[in-house]
Structures are given as C-alpha cells and as structure tokens.
Structure 1
Amino acid sequence: MDNRFGEMQIFLAVAETGSLAGAARALRITPSAVSRAIARLEARLGVLLITRTTRALSLTAEGEVYRERVAGLIAEVDEVERGFAGPSDAPRGPLRINSSVPFGTQCLLPILPRFMARHPSVQVNLSLSDELVDLVEARADVAIRIGPLRDTGLKAKKLGRSAMVLVASPGYLATRGLPDHPRALAGHSCLQFSFRRSLDTWPFRIDGALVQRPVEGAFHGNSGEVVRLMAVAGGGIARLGRFHVAADLAAGRLVEVLSDYNPGDHEDIHALFVGHQRLASRIRAFLDFLETELRLP
C-alpha cells in the first residue's frame, strides 16, 4: 500500500528531531522503520534528502526544499481534518519562535503567558538570538525581525515600527556633561555595534536637514542588549530602539539625549513565516495574537 503521507510525516520528524532515533521516539516506531521509510522516500524521489555521518545528520539542499513544501501540505491536511472537528477545535502542537534578544525580553516574554493561557494545547519554544538565522534551518515557525528584510521566499506580517532614540545614564552625563548639539558628540564615548562597524555615523535633523554625524567610541557590542547594559552601566551614549529602552527611561536608569535633533527615523518590525495557502492553526493564532496584543512604545 502506498503510504506517502506517512513517509512525509516520518521525514518531518527526522528533520525536527535531528536524528533517526529521535524521530522513532517521537512517532513511537522503531529506528529501523524510520530508516526504511527515508530510504523508500529518497528512492522514489531520486534525490538524497539527508546526509548522515557517525556524529550528525543534516538535510541536503533538496531536503530543505522538500521539508518546506511537505510541512505546508501536512498543515493543510491538518486544517481540513480540524475543520470537521467543529469550531471548538483549538490550536495545538509545538510553536517554535525565534526573536532578537531585545524584542524577546522586552516585548514577547511579558505577553506570552496570555497567549499560552488562551491556547493551553500549544507548546511554545522561544529561542532568542541577535544573529540572523535561516527560518527553515533554525526549525522555527515564526521569526521576529527588526530592520530591513533580508529573508527571501517568506511571508511577512508587519507588527509595528521602532523609533530610534539616543540615551545615556544620569551618572555618565553627570561626569561627562550633557551634549547640547550633535557636534558635541566628538567629546563623548558613543557605544557602537561590532556587527555594524561600517556604520560609524548617526543621523540627526539639524536646521531642517538630515545630517550624518561621525561618532567614535572605544566600545563595540555584539548585540543591542550588550550595548543597552553598557549604557545603563555608565559606559557612554547609545542609539537604540525606543521599545528596547522604554523601561530604563521610565525608571530613570537612562535619559534621552539630543531629542531636539532626533531625525524621527524608525525600524520596521515583522513576523516572518513560511507562507502556505492554509497556515497551521497554532501559527495563525500566534500571528493574530501579536496583532492585537503587542504594544510598542
């Protein structure tokens, strides 16, 4: 009997767990059954989907494409069956979310308990990283991205915009003085990003014109959270998203600097996901939740 659907499910389980044994445990079948199913699938398709070594297992380029297409197909089948289960059928299953550290800690974690309370059958797996990751490779259902979109072949849902702001700690300003003009930054320590070394200027609105002013500093951080913590510690002046420092501004740990010269620029915030005609209900529920519950300062 042709069991293509079952083989697809086994393949997705292997891709999800990263091993034949892990897939076998998840599906409650034997590892040999998993191995045979993958072999039949590769033989039928005529391509190698998985590379195996004594230490690791990974998807080939063809395997990545197949995983993306099959995940959408199975999601559609699940939705069809759930449609017959009635309106009371709730979103369920694992929801894998990838986000930057600042957005995750400041915006997602405070509201995630409400999402989980509404959808108790969804198991949330949140991964925080300031490195750009591939959605499929990271095995994520939804990824939150701030700034220009670089991912291709993905659907994007705009969540809002993050206004940029210059901040410093009261202690730093008491010692170094409050700059009254962008040119005064030449005498200050400006905190910068190690992954943006080419961006050694900050924008300002001066006499109605947008002007880029050079900035210098002895400190470079590899994430927004590192730069924020350095600013709170009194290490210098930082330029960060307002959502990232809203709590610090409210608590007085940081104060806004050169607000009269703020150019009013923003960074867009998007939720990215693999686009299918019918999204899995858990993913759709989370996207809808973000649209209604997310509040950006």
Structure 2
Amino acid sequence: MARVQMERSGEMEVFVRVVREGGFSAAARTLDLTPSAVSKLIARLEARLGARLLNRTTRALTLTDEGRGYLQAAERALRALDDADQAVGSGTVRGRLVINASVPFGTHVLAPALPAFLARHPELTIDLSFTDDVVNLLAQKADLAFRVGTLPDSALVARKLGRSRRVICAAPGYLARHGAPRTPADLAQHNCLGFNFRRSRVGWPFREDGREVEVPVAGSLLVNNGETLRQIVLSGVGLGRLSRWHVAEAMARGELVPVLEAYNPGDLETVNAVYVGGGQVPRRVRAFIDHMVAVVAASPLFAGG
C-alpha cells in the first residue's frame, strides 16, 4: 500500500502534463521520459482507477467526464503538495503560475512588472495570457486573473489593487481636422469610438452644473478590447474614453490630447486580482499578487484600493 501511495503523485503529475501539453509525446519531452513510458503510466493510472480518463484518436486527445473530474482533483492535490514542500522549505517561490489579464492592463502594467519578479524568483515559470474576455479560471486552469472594472458575482476571491479615472482623448491630427469639443453636447458632431461588448453605461458620463449626466455617443467603430481602441484613437480616427493609466504615456508624448476635462465626472475604474478560494492560497499566487499591489501603489496613475 505504501508503494502505491508514493506512485500516485507521479501518476498525477504525468496525467496533468499530458493534458496541458495536449499529447503523450509533448508531455514526454517536458518530463524527460519516452512517449511509451508516459503511455504506460497513464494506462496504469486508468487501470488503478477503473475508469478511462482520456479518449485517444490519431488526431486528438480529449478528456472523458471522469478525466475532467480527476484533472481538477489532481491539480488541487499537486498544488497542495507543492505548498507543503514550500511551507517547510526555504521559502522559495517555485512551480508554474498561470496568469490571465486584460489586454491593456497586461500590456501596459503587468508585462513591464514581470522582469523584476522573475529575477527574484528564478525557479518560477509564468504562463501568461492576455484577453479582454472574462475567462473561467477553472476551465482555463489559471491560478490568477487581473480584471478591470466591475466584477460579476462569482465564487472567486478578489483583492483590489487600485483605481484609475477615465479620460476622453483624441490624436492632435483628429482635433486639427474636426476641432475639439467644448461641451458634452458637441460630441454629437464627433466620431466617438466605443466597445462592442455590454457595458453598464450606454453613453459617456459628465458632470454639468453640479450633477452627473450621461450623453449618448456614436461612432464609426466598435471594438472588443481597450488596446485596439487606443491604437485606433492614436491613428486619428476619432475620440475614445479610456483609463488614464492606459493612455498616460501617449498623452505625455503629445500623441493624445485629453478633451472635456472640465466636465470629467471623476468616475474610477477598479483593478482587481481574482483567484479561486476555498483553501490555502499557493505561495506563488500570493507572492505575485503582493508584487502587483506594490507596482500599482507606486504608480501615480492609480489611487489606492
């Protein structure tokens, strides 16, 4: 029985690696094993469990229902083993950290913060993905995500990093051709670029005569992420409303110009780190969140959480 118990963690690691890499050969290369050895380990695991975990064809490898359930359990078990090792070890942050972030925050804030963190933790591997879609952390096997804006109700644990106000801006070339709007009502004569995903506001908010109003806007282009919108605004197509941290460098270089700041309502967009709760947070997750909290706190473009 003791021998079987010792073998289980190795079988779990091989199974998880096969799923992550998408095949026996790819997993074998990362594990320094032969494909036949990996195949035998998976066959032994399935025989011990009395269930098929993987459907194999010449073109694809897919999880069975039992395989999906075992994958989640195996990943939890391996994280717990890793945390146990680190709890009594030297405190080294190691392992694989899977991170998801929105395209703008990932590009302009997270990516520049990575080199210093990786230099401090050379035994850590970071698997990074940028998308403005709200991903399912469990389905994507992600440890951590950074999300901007209002969070939907979920079982995820959130830690607020900071907040930043939004600004309406345009390229100097656009303003030279069309003039700068002087009041929110002038936006009816301007190309106001926006997003094609559902937002809590339909128009753009302003503060006039001591009260907040929402002005309907329309334009020739809708996009699905903030970085694309920033690039289009930079090219002089129209006006855009973006977080100040997202456009601060371009404004400092004179590539974008803020407009209607006298009417800016000062609404704040929140940046949160979210992760799956329900147990001890892995040290690698805690360490990276703490690092990003410090990065955001040191930036003049963010207000404290």
For 1:148 and 1:47, the matched residues in 2 are separated by: 42
For 1:73 and 1:21, the matched residues in 2 are separated by: 24
2:141 to 129, 139, 142: 139
Q: 1:151 to 1:118 in 2, by over 3 A?
A: farther
For 1:58 and 1:276, the matched residues in 2 are separated by: 28
For 1:218 and 1:96, the matched residues in 2 are separated by: 37
SS at match of 2:228: helix
Matched, 1:118 2:114: no
For 1:228 and 1:106, the matched residues in 2 are separated by: 12
For 1:62 and 1:241, the matched residues in 2 are separated by: 44
Code of the residue aligned with 1:66 in structure 2: it is Y
Percent sequence identity over aligned pairs = 47
How many residue pairs get aligned? The number is 295
For 1:37 and 1:120, the matched residues in 2 are separated by: 30
SS at match of 1:111: helix
SS at match of 1:109: helix
| Stretch moving more, 269-278 or 178-187 | 269-278
Q: 1:21 to 1:275 in 2, by over 3 A?
A: farther
| Stretch moving more, 122-131 or 31-40 | 31-40
The 8 Å contact of residues 159 and 290 in structure 1, kept in 2 or not, is answered as yes
For 2:277 and 2:15, the matched residues in 1 are separated by: 20
Aligned to 1:245: 247
For 2:239 and 2:290, the matched residues in 1 are separated by: 37
Aligned to 1:166: 168
Quote the offset at 1:277 in angstroms.
2.5
The 8 Å contact of residues 86 and 93 in structure 2, kept in 1 or not, is answered as no
Q: 1:274 to 1:95 in 2, by over 3 A?
A: same
Quote the offset at 1:11 in angstroms.
1.8
Q: TM-score, normalised by structure 1?
A: 0.88
Q: 1:144 to 1:248 in 2, by over 3 A?
A: same
SS at match of 1:90: coil
1:7 to 4, 11, 27: 11
Quote the offset at 1:36 in angstroms.
4.0
Aligned to 1:57: 61
Quote the offset at 1:279 in angstroms.
3.0
Aligned to 1:217: 219
Q: 1:22 to 1:152 in 2, by over 3 A?
A: farther
2:101 to 99, 102, 121: 99
For 1:47 and 1:166, the matched residues in 2 are separated by: 57
The 8 Å contact of residues 200 and 216 in structure 1, kept in 2 or not, is answered as no
The 8 Å contact of residues 233 and 240 in structure 2, kept in 1 or not, is answered as yes
Quote the offset at 1:240 in angstroms.
0.8
Code of the residue aligned with 1:68 in structure 2: it is Q
Matched, 1:72 2:76: yes
The 8 Å contact of residues 72 and 276 in structure 1, kept in 2 or not, is answered as no
Structure 2 unaligned regions, length at least 5? none
Aligned to 2:26: 22
| Stretch moving more, 76-85 or 43-52 | 43-52
SS at match of 2:177: helix
The 8 Å contact of residues 93 and 123 in structure 1, kept in 2 or not, is answered as yes
Q: Deviations over 1:51-79 (max 9, x none)?
A: 43332223345544433333232222222
For 2:85 and 2:97, the matched residues in 1 are separated by: 19
Q: TM-score, normalised by structure 2?
A: 0.85
For 2:246 and 2:215, the matched residues in 1 are separated by: 23
| Stretch moving more, 102-111 or 53-62 | 53-62
Quote the offset at 1:46 in angstroms.
5.8
| Stretch moving more, 3-12 or 252-261 | 3-12
| Stretch moving more, 148-157 or 68-77 | 148-157
For 2:103 and 2:191, the matched residues in 1 are separated by: 24
For 1:51 and 1:151, the matched residues in 2 are separated by: 35
The alignment's C-alpha RMSD in Å is 2.5
SS at match of 1:236: coil
The 8 Å contact of residues 157 and 274 in structure 2, kept in 1 or not, is answered as yes
Aligned to 1:31: 35
For 2:75 and 2:187, the matched residues in 1 are separated by: 51
